Amino acid sequence: MKKAVIIVSSILGTVGTIVLALFIYYFSVTAGVRLNPDKLNDSVQSVSVYDVRGNAIDLPEIRKCADFSSLPGYVPNAFVAVEDKRFYSHHGFDYKRIGKAVLRNISSFSFREGASTISQQLIKNTHLSGEKTLTRKLKEMKLTRALEKRYEKEEILSLYLNSIYFGHSAFGIEEAASFYFCKTAKELTPAESATLAALVQSPNRFSPFRDAEKCLKRRNFVLSLMRDQNYISAREYESAILEPLPLAPNEENGSGQSYLALVFEEFATLFPDEKPDDSTLKIYTYYDPDLQKTIESYEAKTDYSACVLDHAAHGISAYYSSAGRVKRLPASLMKPLLVYAPALEMNAISPATPISDERTDFGGYCPKNYNDEYSGYVSARYALSHSVNVPAVKILNVIGVDTGAKYMDKMGLTVAEEDKSLALALGGMKEGYDLPSLAFAYSTFPAMGNYSPSRTIKRIENASGKTLYEWRPFFTRVFSEDTAAIVTDMLKTAVQEGTAKKLRSLGFEIAAKTGTGANASGNTDAYTVSYTSEHTVAVWMGMRDNSPVQTTGGALPAALALNINRQLYRERSPENFRMPEDVRTVAIDKEEYEKNHRILLADPSAPPVTTLSELFRSCALPNETSNRFTSPSIPRPSISVKKGSVLIELCQTEYYDYIIKRKNNGKTVTIYEGKYRATIIDNSVTAGQSYEYTVIPLYRETAGEPVVLPAVHIPRSDSVPEDWWK
């Protein structure tokens, strides 16, 4: 018994010592911590944003506090339902919830699940940093207790709603209501209130403008909690879940709001759950205000988006969208990314590859060209620059859809399994991509095959000038330098003579691809993506409700791309594109290519007019050479006898000279020597005699293989013809 008492006393003494040590540690850590009412009432983090020249950008003046008494009850209750359902009954800490969180974290061997109440969140957002340490947690406990003693529940909830971050630079319920729904907080519906409450856990992840599906699922979950906790009725719930999400943010606050939305969206990805410790931040961007005005001043009868990338910095210089950050079907913009560049990389094609452009059935899939017109054999260069559909599908059919999709994935454009079909070559897919993502992918070509996304934020500093973040581009090798350069050259042809020829007046080297998507009602999406060695300019036009528009990619989008490029290079021209050493300019035999659709290296002795010049990768040069001029040869000419004369019809090889010899009775004479003539007539023959002719082609001084023609016999005429007088 005495031994048991000793053991119990030892345990109690040890526990007491630990508890005492914890109390001492708690009081030492929190000794100087005081609740600051000024921070509660001025909780919005001060953020300054600067353009590419270091000048401050005017932020929209919409940071106002909502009057709590004017809010419908379901507005604050949406947040209580999902964030802290025992808010009105606890005194700052939900011990039941804390216990459950501890058990779940232990069972899952993680610390992912938290149990912060609204009061704790308010303290963390206004008084503390986001670091997950014991020291910070102890400070939070002391400040939360002080908060609960000093303020009523409605006051705490009001302070919370006016300080919480909702993503996209929106701080507080009033600003969030304006940004997401273009209304005041007191005008919010139950569904809209639930949407904003759904964002609190992770504004970046649940933004309706980034992932509408996740946002809708989370919003409806909040609505179910509101129903279960009797904040809304079953009928209100059924009505609310049918309400659509917002399609686009409120951008009626001056120039650059689309760009600023990108900035704060990017900011949210850098700090997804916690804001930086400092209360004052300086965000330096790549924003070019002059370029932004050029984009925004365009008068369009459709929705439109435009994005400009700076290659050197991998930064976004300007961005505007009247339809929000929407994903659209990419139409023919897919062709260089998915089809031609991968096929060039695999040496499946060259720009000269002849492809039969004809109506083709690919196992039930029958793509059509624009206006249902087909041109017979065309080169890969022509097919891409003129955006011909059937050749693109044929090439994808050869290299394989999975192969093309792997290259797309390297450029940040993931292809879903259900989208993997030959229709992908023409942009046929379920969802599509947003315009900045397409621009990033196209910038792979002027980067000589290296992919890197671009960003709006250059760096972030705190009040003391310490750099909290700096953008450092990262690169993925997608294509070889020679493939990238050849694709660029093919897209330069699109500007010179193809679908993007509206840009050819610019007077400097520029490559471009257009695209036009359509359904049974008409055109729905129109694109032009152009790039120089220094910038990528991407333009989309359409209607957010998918109704038809009266334009194609090569029309209005190309006109806006033209204006943007003029603004970019108003004082100077960009450098020319670089051509790698592994790209060779090769002369091929023109006649063999056009007549027989074969690629042969031109004869070294060939006159220039008989050749075509084209680019090839040095690892994929043609392996056959024409000898039409070093060893002249011709098909066998035809020979016939008419009215006592011999007619020899030559094949058309106009660059040859000809020698024609006649043999009769062991004697050989030359009957013709000179330039090409379609028909050679020998009327110096004698009736009753047989003759044998030999045709010898010559190029300059080189004689080719003699061609011996079948012998002919000149018949006798024993009677006078009735029409002798003719």
Return the active site residues.
Answer: 83, 332
Contacts of 1 (CB under 8 A, 6+ apart): none
State the DSSP H helix or E strand holding residue 588, giving kind and residue range, or none if neither. Answer: strand 583-589
Asked whether the beta carbons of 712 and 646 are under 8 A apart, the reply is yes
- CB-count burial class (<10 Å; 0-12, 13-18, 19+) for 669: exposed
Residues 6+ apart with CB under 8 A from 225: 81, 82, 85
Sorted by sequence, the CB contacts under 8 Å of residue 2 that are 6+ apart come out as none
Please say whether the beta carbons of 650 and 681 come within 8 A: no
Helix, strand, coil abundance in the chain, percent, nearest 5: 40, 20, 40
Helix ranges, 151-211 (H): 153-161, 173-181, 190-199
CA distance 335 to 384: 7
Q: Could you identify the residue written with the tokens 């097919």?
A: 383
Compute φ and ψ for 208, nearest 5 degrees.
Answer: -65, -20
**Residue 98 to residue 117: CA distance in whole angstroms:** 10
**315 Cβ neighbours under 8 A, 6+ residues apart:** 52, 285, 286, 309, 454, 455, 456, 458, 471
Q: How far is CA 61 from CA 58, 455, 557, in A?
A: 9, 25, 33
With tokens 């220039």, the residue in question is 608
Phi first, then psi: give them for residue 376, nearest 5 degrees.
75, -145
Element (H, E) at 304: strand 303-310
Residue 49's SS3 state is: strand
3-state class (DSSP) for residue 145 = helix
